[in-house]
């Protein structure tokens, strides 16, 4: 969209964050200084010669799992496709085996180090999916692990039930769908109603050989009736008409979309369904690149995600933005909007996150550079460029002192 080309940049600006963690003022330093001349602050950061950005929002990750898949990376480099590996019992199935067997404490500890890594790369709000259990016990275990991270880490989390990430071994699509509708979702509803769990979104991998359009529809509809936002994987490896289905169901977002059709793009634009594009996956799997330019032209709200998972091992939204610019042909302004305000929209959080505006959460980055574009331009340079990561007004990471994380 045109607006994504025009970021509002304030030269010599200041931001004031209140004790409630919300932004109280943002604007020219001179006028803020005048208004707050009598005020006392708990902490003042002199960001002269630096640059302040909204915290980054990662709209799609699978960060709870055990067992890496480095061996499959080698197979894929040698020519195996994602679905070749999946059909041979690897891929998601490999991770499901290890995650089912894993102790909660191990999953909490690996999730926590992954989320800290994301924080250090500037992510302050992240979507986290379940989906490596594919049965009641492990799906709930994964969601509880995400809840634990929410309780103990400062990073903001939007959580997603993704019990339909693959059809479990030994079950047909119909049997797996029935299990989700009759067993898993009712239990999840019970946990949500009792306050034991706060889940935000429902996801299905709508793909040939995984969940077809009919089963996807029934699962997403059931989730929506429970108050979950529809946010699912669609049109990744084959054109499935997932985009049209999502638009019809009022989906908040659809991810991947490498194979979306023109009709799908038009339907998503009309329904204000965000497209969460995942440049790391298209890059690693050598897929056709998602049609970001066509989507932007049609008026779709384009967001970005890292898709962190054992297939696409990348935690860094600055790298994702770089790939979005080079491979998806987005401008740097578009990529930043897609990794902040639009990603917040895809998670239903754009009223509180995604930009530096009064009343929003005081989540921001301070960069060791006067030009924000360096964060995208310097591939991998975020390690030195990000000086502070701040969430709700608290310094969570100080790169000079490597404090906290």
Ligand X SMILES: N=CN[C@@H](CCC(=O)O)C(=O)O
Interface ranges with ligand X (CB under 6 A) = 62, 91-92, 95, 205, 233, 236, 281, 307, 309-312
Closer of 154 and 290 to ligand X (Cβ): 290
For the CB of residue 205, give the shortest distance to ligand X in the complex, in Å.
5
Closest Cα to residue 142, out of 155, 130, 160?
Answer: 130
The C-alpha atoms of residue 149 and residue 155 are separated, in whole angstroms, by 9
Q: Return the structure tokens found at 150.
A: 């929410």
Count of positions (residues) in the chain: 405
Burial tier of 137 (Cβ tally within 10 Å: 0-12, 13-18, 19+): exposed
Residue 140 has φ and ψ, to the nearest 5°, of -70, -35
Q: Are 66 and 110 in contact (CB under 8 A)?
A: yes
Closer of 223 and 362 to ligand X (Cβ): 223
For the CB of residue 92, give the shortest distance to ligand X in the complex, in Å.
5
Closer of 312 and 349 to ligand X (Cβ): 312
Closer of 179 and 307 to ligand X (Cβ): 307
Closer of 110 and 378 to ligand X (Cβ): 110
Q: How far is CA 25 from CA 15, 31, 45, 98, 160, in A?
A: 6, 10, 15, 48, 33
Closer of 281 and 340 to ligand X (Cβ): 281
Closer of 204 and 267 to ligand X (Cβ): 204
Closer of 316 and 369 to ligand X (Cβ): 316
The C-alpha atoms of residue 137 and residue 10 are separated, in whole angstroms, by 50
For the CB of residue 204, give the shortest distance to ligand X in the complex, in Å.
10
Closer of 200 and 309 to ligand X (Cβ): 309
State which residue has the least CB distance to ligand X.
311
For the CB of residue 86, give the shortest distance to ligand X in the complex, in Å.
8
Spatial neighbors of 354 by CB under 8 A, at least 6 apart, are 54, 57, 125, 340, 341, 342, 343, 344, 345, 360
The three-state secondary structure class of 60 is coil
For the CB of residue 236, give the shortest distance to ligand X in the complex, in Å.
6
Q: Return the structure tokens found at 188.
A: 């999840």
Buried-state track 330-367, b at ≥16 Cβ within 10 A, e below 16: bebbbbbbbbbbbbbbbbbbbeebbbbeeebbbbbbbb
For the CB of residue 73, give the shortest distance to ligand X in the complex, in Å.
11
For the CB of residue 142, give the shortest distance to ligand X in the complex, in Å.
13
The C-alpha atoms of residue 185 and residue 199 are separated, in whole angstroms, by 11
For the CB of residue 129, give the shortest distance to ligand X in the complex, in Å.
9
Identify the sign of the CA torsion 180, 185, 186, 190.
Answer: positive
Chain-centre distance for alpha carbon 201: 12
For the CB of residue 131, give the shortest distance to ligand X in the complex, in Å.
7
Q: Return the structure tokens found at 269.
A: 């634009």
């Amino acid at each position: 969209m045109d607006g994504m080309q025009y970021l509002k940049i304030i030269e010599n600006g200041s931001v004031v964050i209140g004790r409630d963690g919300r932004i109280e003022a943002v604007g020219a330093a001179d006028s803020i200084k005048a208004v707050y001349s009598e005020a006392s602050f708990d902490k003042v950061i002199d960001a002269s010669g630096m640059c302040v950005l909204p915290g980054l929002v990662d709209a799609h990750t699978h960060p709870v799992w055990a067992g890496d898949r480095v061996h499959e990376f080698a197979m894929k480099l040698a020519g195996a496709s994602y679905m070749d590996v999946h059909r041979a019992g690897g891929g998601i199935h490999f991770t499901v085996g290890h995650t089912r067997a894993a102790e909660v404490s191990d999953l909490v500890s690996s999730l926590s180090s992954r989320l800290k890594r994301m924080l250090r790369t500037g992510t302050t709000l992240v979507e986290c999916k379940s989906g490596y259990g594919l049965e009641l016990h492990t799906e709930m275990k994964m969601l509880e692990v995400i809840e634990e991270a929410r309780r103990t880490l400062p990073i903001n989390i939007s959580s997603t039930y993704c019990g339909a990430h693959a059809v479990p071994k030994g079950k047909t699509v119909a049997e797996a769908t029935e299990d989700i509708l009759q067993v898993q979702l009712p239990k999840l509803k019970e946990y949500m109603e009792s306050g034991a769990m706060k889940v935000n979104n429902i996801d299905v991998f709508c793909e040939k050989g995984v969940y077809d359009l009919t089963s996807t529809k029934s699962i997403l509809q059931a989730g929506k009736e429970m108050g979950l936002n529809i946010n699912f994987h669609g049109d990744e490896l084959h054109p499935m008409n997932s985009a049209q289905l999502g638009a019809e169901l009022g989906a908040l977002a659809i991810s991947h979309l490498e194979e979306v059709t023109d009709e799908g793009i038009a339907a998503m634009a009309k329904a204000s369904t965000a497209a969460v594009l995942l440049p790391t996956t298209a890059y690693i799997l050598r897929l056709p690149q998602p049609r970001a330019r066509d989507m932007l032209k049609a008026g779709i709200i384009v967001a970005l995600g890292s898709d962190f998972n054992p297939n696409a091992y990348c935690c860094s939204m600055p790298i994702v933005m770089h790939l979005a610019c080079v491979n998806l042909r987005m401008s740097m302004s578009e990529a930043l909007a897609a990794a902040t305000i639009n990603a917040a929209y895809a998670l239903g959080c754009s009223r509180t996150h995604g930009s530096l505006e009064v009343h929003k959460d005081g989540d921001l980055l301070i960069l060791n550079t006067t030009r924000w574009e360096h964060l995208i331009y310097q591939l991998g340079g975020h390690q030195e460029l990000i000086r502070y990561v701040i969430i709700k007004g608290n310094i969570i990471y100080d790169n000079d002192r490597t404090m906290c994380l």
